[in-house]
Amino acid sequence: MRTNGFVGLIIAGICCISSPSLFAQADYPVEPSNESEGVFRISNTSDYQYEEYEPAAVDAVSFAPSSPRTSDLSPIAMPEGGAMVSNDYYGGGEYYTPTEGEYYGPVEQYSQGDWIEDPYLEEGSYERLGLVFGAAAVFLKPGFDTDTAFTTEDQTGPATITTSNDFGYSYQTAPRINLGLIDNEGLSAQVRWFQLEDNSGASAIAGNNFTFFNGQPTKTAIGGLRAGGQAGDFVVAASQMKLYTIDVDLSQELNFERWQTTFGGGYRHASVSQAYQAYGTASGAAVASDVGHRFDGNGIVVFGEARRPLGLWDRRTKGTSSLSLISSAKYSALWGKSKYSAVDSNPGPVNAIAQTSENKSLSIAEIQVGMQADFVLQTGALVWVRAAWDGIWWNGAGSAASESGDLSLLGGSISLGMDW
């Protein structure tokens, strides 16, 4: 009888426990969000209500991003003591006792299982006005398959020694600008412009039995410059290069789990012109060679970009920031006209001229790898800063002295942009 009385006391104590404790968070596990839809899933809510007018409690909301401008949310720890007393999060009432758990920020009151869009306060959400702009300073150093300024033949010994003297190039600053429109779904139409100019030079003074020649033979009957022959003769060579691209493209932002990507394509116009000038003396008489070639073409361009947030900061509302790893690749195929001209002058005077024009195809490949920091301002504008390594390859662009060969541009860039 004593045992039965003790059990009865335990049962009576359990019945006296406040009803809200029976509806613990574990009774309603958090349901996963539908990440492909970019919406919020209300879960962990209790259908128990103490009065008909009391709203259901919302314990948690899970989030799935629908735009690269937002990122996943993590549960926020409960205040000390585990009690959430604010009516912003739970329905109030004299019969309501807060319980411990997690919450994800202020939300409206919704029934369990409802799909809603943007449970955050409206003034905290990011809305685009439709403008996108970017500007970059690109630091690039040109490289060529063959870029000989002139060759030297030394005939002072029993055997002729031939030496190649190349142009030296350093890093040059080039502008890169984009301007366009973008909607809240990440669909964008933009115009992009990039331009680079560079030049270089080399020179030498001949000793006895030294002879200088063009870096590459020309297409004239003379075949180029021949300087030197006696001590004191000299040669001076110079190169100039100018290239630019203009793109008009469409792109779309897409999300794959934590990867934020952009894919696009469109039209590209490109031009590259290079010139080679050399002059000097041959046994005291003036000699010169002037060579130039230019390609202008039109074609298609395709590109892709991937961003991976590092999770150091959270970019989900105004006034917040994020840091991401970023990589991009771009490829264009171009078709157009290539024009060549050369004028050589030797003692006599003897002048020779050559001009050609032909159809030509050219391709351009671009790669960028770096880091990007994003800042969502209180105005709603997204400002980003990017530091990256850049590589650009113009296949078939040639060099100053020759139409054949490839051109590479390697270096880095600092970019600043805004989506508003």
Residue 83 has pLDDT above 50, yes or no: no
Mean pLDDT, the chain, integer: 76
Read off the pLDDT of residues 91-110 as tens digits, 9 standing for 90 and up. 444 444 444 444 444 444 44
Read off the pLDDT of residues 243-300 as tens digits, 9 standing for 90 and up. 999 999 999 999 888 888 999 999 999 999 999 999 999 988 999 999 999 999 999 9
The least confident of 210-214, 323-327, 329-333, 351-355 is 210-214
Distance (Å, whole) CA 401 – CA 239: 8
* Per-residue confidence (pLDDT) for residue 128, from 0 to 100: 60
Distance (Å, whole) CA 218 – CA 239: 15
Distance (Å, whole) CA 326 – CA 306: 6
pTM strictly above 0.85: no
Residue 11 has pLDDT above 70, yes or no: no
* Both tokens assigned to 326: 């970023």
In this structure, what DSSP letter does residue 30 have? Answer: P
How are strands ordered across the β-sheet holding 148-154? 161-166, 148-154, 210-214, 226-228
Domain map (residue ranges) of the chain: 20-120, 131-419
Q: Are 257 and 299 in contact (CB under 8 A)?
A: no
Q: How confident is the model at residue 376 (pLDDT cuts 50, 70, 90)?
A: confident
* Per-residue confidence (pLDDT) for residue 320, from 0 to 100: 61
Specify the CATH number of the domain 131-419. Answer: 2.40.128
Question: Rounded mean pLDDT of 46-73?
Answer: 43
Distance (Å, whole) CA 354 – CA 108: 79
Residue 5 has pLDDT above 90, yes or no: no
